[in-house]
Homo-oligomer: A and B are copies of this chain.
Amino acid sequence: MSAADGPGYLCSMNALVYHGPGKKAWEEKPTPTLQQPTDAIVRIHKTTICGTDLHILKGDLPEVTDGRILGHEGIGVIEEVGSAVTTFKKGDKVLISCISSCGKCLYCRKGMYSHCEQGGWILGHLIDGTQAEYVRIPFADTSLYHIPETANEDAIVMLSDILPTGFECGVLNGQVQPGDSVVIVGAGPVGLAVLLTAQFYTPATLIMVDVDDNRLAVAKTLGATHTINSQTVDAVAEVMRLTENRGTDVAIEAVGIPATFDLCAAVIAPGGHIANVGVHGKPVELHLETLWSRNITITTRLVDTVTTPMLMKTVVSNKVDGASLITHHFALNDIMQAYDTFEHAAREKALKVILTSAS
């Protein structure tokens, strides 16, 4: 049965539901309905799984409650819009942003949607998400984007989260410039999204550091000029060697642990930029006793998705191949199997997995 079968309050759908640490199920849930005049209901066409979903399943985010539908990425088709929605209508193909933006608050007016007073990252977190047949999107006019007819849909899904995250938190905050030397620490999907979008600014040197040789090999195919397996090589020494002992102009942390942040701080050149992308669970030690005089900049950021229109143009004009981050395809119904693959990413050589609805 689907939402098309009858009035909304009678309908049900399938969804990936969180039931506390370690527990999830693909099960029946009521089809979402409009709650506010600014809402839209989107029938999911494609979605994906994020590393953050695994963190939720580990219990790292206690604000996520039992019964929550996970997922904050995807594309779909508008099923219904609230009375205040003016930009979208039933039948429109849309990209869902991982960040909901009310468009009115002080933060949204500044382009800092991540800190929207009513939105921010709420999908699949504080409200039900996109790993389902239908999803309710609040503030639809300012949280959805039209998809051009000719676009590669798999690539477009990467615009929900991973490409803007890599670009905004890593590349823009890192201020990558033509001719720069850049080190990216972490070759997971987000680190690789940094790698792809860093090339928008034509750095001369793009060094990728990870502990997984497969991911480093992928990084090579996606534009890394050098790769370092930090389990087998002294990464600090190697980065210094590759930069003639100057250090890098930009260091981008895409893991989220103290050791990788330390690496960035150890190799940054005077005047350089350290851009933190990773989600950290612990404090790091910042060596101000040496860094105070080195004219460096350190940034943090939760993705705002304020660059989604710009990134959409780069994807549609084939300036970046978002689909190159996708390693596995599943039917949406097979999402439990997709989770299994994604949870064993190293074994499966998995980066992003795409789930496509049958309808």
Could you tell me which A residues sit within 8 Å of B by CB distance? Answer: 37-38, 83-84, 86-87, 103-104, 106-107, 109-112, 114-115, 141-142, 177-180, 199-202, 204-205, 225, 256, 261, 270-271, 276, 278-289, 291-302, 304, 306, 309-314, 316-317, 319-320
B302:A295 contact, CB within 8 angstroms: yes
B280:A317 contact, CB within 8 angstroms: no
Complex Cα–Cα for A313 and B244 (A): 14
Q: Nearest residue in B to A103 (C-beta to C-beta)?
A: B103
Complex Cα–Cα for A289 and B261 (A): 12
A319:B288 contact, CB within 8 angstroms: no
Q: List 17 A-B contacts (CB under 8 A).
A: A87-B104, A107-B271, A109-B111, A114-B293, A178-B200, A178-B314, A179-B312, A179-B313, A199-B202, A202-B202, A202-B320, A282-B289, A284-B285, A288-B300, A293-B302, A294-B302, A298-B299
Complex Cα–Cα for A302 and B296 (A): 10
A80 CB, nearest partner CB in chain B, Å? 17
Picked from B83, B107, B314, the residue with its CB within 8 Å of the CB of A202 is: B314
A319:B286 contact, CB within 8 angstroms: no
Chain B residues positioned under 8 Å from A312 (CB to CB): 179
A292:B278 contact, CB within 8 angstroms: yes
Complex Cα–Cα for A114 and B270 (A): 10
Complex Cα–Cα for A111 and B110 (A): 8
Chain B residues positioned under 8 Å from A256 (CB to CB): 292
Q: Oligomeric state, in number of copies?
A: 4
Given A115-B270, A202-B314, A295-B112, residue A142 in contact with residue B107 (CB < 8 A): no
A104:B311 contact, CB within 8 angstroms: no
A37 CB, nearest partner CB in chain B, Å? 5
Chain B residues positioned under 8 Å from A298 (CB to CB): 297-299
Complex Cα–Cα for A202 and B199 (A): 8
* Most chain B C-beta atoms within 10 Å of own C-beta, residue among A180, A271, A310, A311: A271
Chain B residues positioned under 8 Å from A280 (CB to CB): 288-289, 292
Given A283-B285, A292-B276, residue A309 in contact with residue B261 (CB < 8 A): no
B106:A309 contact, CB within 8 angstroms: yes
B270:A288 contact, CB within 8 angstroms: no
Q: With contacts A103-B103, A103-B104, A285-B285 known, what are 9 further pairs, Cβ within 8 A?
A: A37-B83, A115-B295, A178-B314, A179-B312, A261-B288, A284-B285, A295-B299, A295-B300, A296-B300
Chain B residues positioned under 8 Å from A112 (CB to CB): 270-271, 295
Chain B residues positioned under 8 Å from A301 (CB to CB): 293, 295
A297:B299 contact, CB within 8 angstroms: yes
Chain B residues positioned under 8 Å from A37 (CB to CB): 37, 83-84
